[in-house]
Chain A
Amino acid sequence: MANGTIAVPKKAAEPDFYHVRTKHTGIWSWLLTTDHKRIGLMYLSAMTFFFLAAMTLGVLMRLEMLTPGETIMTAQTYNSFFTLHGVIMIFLFIIPGIGAVFGNFILPIQLGAKDVQFPKLNLMSWYLYMIGGILALFSLFIGTGIADTGWTFYAPYSIRTTTNVSISVFAAFILGFSSILTGLNFLTTIHRLRCPGMTWFRMPLFVWAIYATAWIQVLATPIIGITLLLVILERAFGIGVFDPTLGGDPLLYQHLFWIYSHPAVYIMILPAMGVVSEIIPTFAKKPIFGYVPIAISSLAIALVGYLVWGHHMFSSGISDTSRVIFSLLTFIVALPSGIKVFNWVATLYKGSIEVTAPMLYTLLFIFIFSIGGLTGLTLGALNTDLHLTDTYYVVAHFHYVMFGGMGLIFFASIHYWFPKFYGKMYNEKVAKIAAYWIAIGFNTLYFPMFIMGYLGMPRRYYDYLPEYQIWHVISTVGSWILVSGILIMVFNLVKGIRSGKPTTANPWGGTTLEWTVPSPPPLENFDVIPTVTTGPYDHTKLHQQLRKEYKDQQKTEEGKN
């Protein structure tokens, strides 16, 4: 039924990729694997660890903000915590997140391929990722203390501070390299390994999103690479390019940093938008509305993402002309994002919506992400930004778009593809309770930040004036709700992996190719490379089948009467 092919029942004897016997056994069957599915799962386990670590840092930071003055940590510790929280969350979770886990596992199957184009390179990316991640954590324990610059490593402070900036920066550099190689791999895979009949406009929208993302990974990441390298050289040799005392211009650091880091925002969010475009047609039981606009808007977002980095520097002292230009360009980003949101909502219209856990997360995403997007407009507008910049308003905004955007969809993706990953099902009821709990916690945690930011509470301080306390208290309580929600979700998933009910190849009624292969898939995904004849969200076959089932049921009931 998917993509117009008819799912051929598998020979029962064929083992799934967990049980197939390969050259290596035991732990080596994972560490030396070139199977895209195993690599995806290895990313997932590493990322779960890093995410929970950074989440813990976040909770401790919220706890510090419970009362004015020193609550549980010193100012220096607080500085290190928000740096590490940002570095881990951004470089180790949000940027690689959906692409590395679900891109690796699902994308080749959605294309009808046996693996990615360069499987060995894929494994190397994972190792680079791990080296980068371990280095970042390592900087905790060696040298002169954790970097205290914030994840942005702004010069000239980053070249002066005596803390361990060089190692953190080098870790980010290696992670960038990993990201580049993953992007390169996906681009070539999408160009070369589409199965027969899979034309560009028959690719699932998740593939389109990954395609646009991969271009950003390839064409933007090198710029941060060289910038971070320069910070290291600056610290080691004092070459001076970012050092104002030697004639350097620190604003150029900010330019180079954001030339990457703004497009990186789209590396974070585009794959999430791709997943949404998969989940909604599946659970609305309806073809996606506006396939081509959604596909093209992914590319448009990728392109426009390069034009707007200056809005991170409105108050840094860049020229007025460029501030106006960047502000204007920033509003253009709203167009392709808006196209997506309208098309998703239009797909839901008159659909037969089934609110499962992944769908619930997706619906929450549309709500929360829209708040994030709208508050972004106030930051993109020059005059309001000057009031709101460097306040908690910004903190709230990027948590709404990043966590509310990529984070919630990461959770949605895990639930959506969980049966495909493990061949089992989690407890749906608990999953939904966790989703609601997370949504309540999320808004309790971050919404007060909009208010206190608007009232003038600056970001990155461990202390504050007493009049802000009420908002901080609400926010901290929110963090406890959110974390307990996340823990419920994690426990539910782990329990599902251990003892969930076995599931079928297509428990959701999905129409893309990954639902035609068994759950979990065999080592090379397909016995025979499929040939597709229709677009990815063709529900006609599914509807015919359902109608037939319904008629059969009617007949049997008539027979009974």
Chain B
Amino acid sequence: MSQNIDTTQQEIHEIHIHRDDFGSKMGMWLFLFTEVLLFGGLFILYASYRFIYPNEFALAASELDMLMGAINTVILLTSSLTVVLGIVALQKNNKKLCLFFMWVTVVCGILFLVNKYFEWGAKFHHGIYPKGPALQDMSEGEVMYFGLYYVMTGLHGLHIVVGLAFIGFVMWQIKKDVLTSTNFQKLENAGLYWHLVDIIWIFLFPLFYLIH
């Protein structure tokens, strides 16, 4: 390369970044697929062990509180609704209402985590955790059930946390008027992520709580 070009004389070259909402949404959907298959691996394991240990899974599921699971389902579904309503509000240029709906979403997400905390806490209290005293007396199928229960709900909980952070970030941008009624793709992307987390719970709930 011609080393002796005098670079100091040139103006600084700024790269022009073009806005592409469609592309941004496409990137988000592709990312969601990776999440689907991340959980997909776990669902394959779940299906396999449920196939191998059908009775043990039913027995172990009776340890879970169905009401708690149902409440959490309703909480997540509601939070999904409020995200959508928030997007609609922003599109109708109602920033205040949008932020209100997003706050409801955040509160729902936190409520979900609090419930999960108490659920896990109760299990731990009874010694039902990997290598825990109660689990060691249980059958192999039940150990598999609880192993998967902790991994899958744990990973799901982690996604709730990430989703909340994502939503918090876009809320801040809405507040600063970075995102507006003509520029809302990032909010939609956060919504897409949150809905996916909801969908995963839609499957986790019957698979772990509703076995008899």
Contacts and interface: CB of A to CB of B under 8 A. Distances in A.
A524 interface: yes
Contact of A226 (B15, B41, B141, B144): B41
Interface string A171-188: 000000000100111011
A240 B41 CA distance: 16
Contacts of B212: none
B148 interface: yes
A227 B40 CA distance: 11
Contact of B30 (A115, A188, A238, A246): A188
B111 interface: no
Interface string B1-32: 11001011011111111001011001100110
A15 B5 contact: yes
Interface stretch (A133-141, A248-256, A335-343): A248-256
A246 B26 contact: no
Interface stretch (A215-223, A410-418, A458-466): A215-223
B182 interface: no
B33 A241 contact: no
A22 interface: yes
A237 B42 CA distance: 17
A321 to B, nearest CB: 15
A117 B27 contact: yes
Contacts of B34: 180, 184, 218-219, 221-222
A238 B130 contact: yes
A85 B26 CA distance: 37
A423 B5 CA distance: 15
A184 B27 contact: yes
Interface in A241-263: 241, 246-249, 252, 255-256, 259
Nearest to A248: B144
B140 interface: yes
Contacts of B45: 230, 241, 252, 256
A188 B40 contact: no
A119 B18 CA distance: 11
A119 B131 CA distance: 46
B151 interface: yes
A237 B131 contact: yes
B55 to A, nearest CB: 13
Nearest to A226: B41
Contacts of B20: 117, 192
Given A256-B41, A256-B45, A239 B14 contact: no
B1 A249 contact: no
A260 to B, nearest CB: 9
A241 B38 contact: no
Contact of B144 (A221, A240, A255): A240
A289 interface: no
B15 A239 contact: no
B166 interface: no
Contact of B33 (A35, A192, A218, A252): A218
Interface string B128-155: 0011000000011101100110110001
Given A117-B20, A239-B151, A21 B12 contact: yes
Contacts of B27: 117-118, 121, 184-185, 188
- Chain A: interface residue count, which band? 35 or more
A23 B38 contact: no
A464 B136 CA distance: 43
A340 to B, nearest CB: 26
A183 B37 CA distance: 15
Nearest to B7: A21
Contacts of A219: 33-34, 37
Interface string B50-87: 00110000000000000000000000000000000000
B37 A220 contact: yes
Contacts of B14: 23
A71 B84 CA distance: 67
B35 A241 contact: no
B205 interface: no
Contacts of B48: 249, 252
B15 A222 contact: no
A241 B151 contact: yes
Given A22-B12, A22-B13, A222-B37, A238 B131 contact: yes
Given A16-B1, A20-B13, A184 B30 contact: yes
Nearest to B11: A21
B44 interface: yes
Interface string A443-458: 0000000000000000
A233 interface: yes
Given A15-B5, A233-B151, A223 B31 contact: no
A520 B5 CA distance: 14
B120 interface: no
B139 to A, nearest CB: 8
7 closest Cβ pairs, A-B complex: A247-B140, A239-B147, A226-B41, A222-B38, A222-B37, A192-B23, A223-B41
Interface of B: 1-2, 5, 7-8, 10-17, 20, 22-23, 26-27, 30-31, 33-42, 44-45, 48-49, 52-53, 130-131, 139-141, 143-144, 147-148, 150-151, 155
14 contacts: A15-B5, A16-B1, A114-B16, A117-B23, A183-B30, A187-B30, A188-B30, A191-B26, A218-B34, A221-B34, A230-B151, A237-B130, A238-B131, A524-B15
Given A21-B11, A22-B13, A241-B148, 11 more contacts: A16-B1, A21-B12, A187-B26, A192-B22, A192-B26, A222-B38, A226-B42, A240-B130, A247-B144, A249-B52, A252-B48
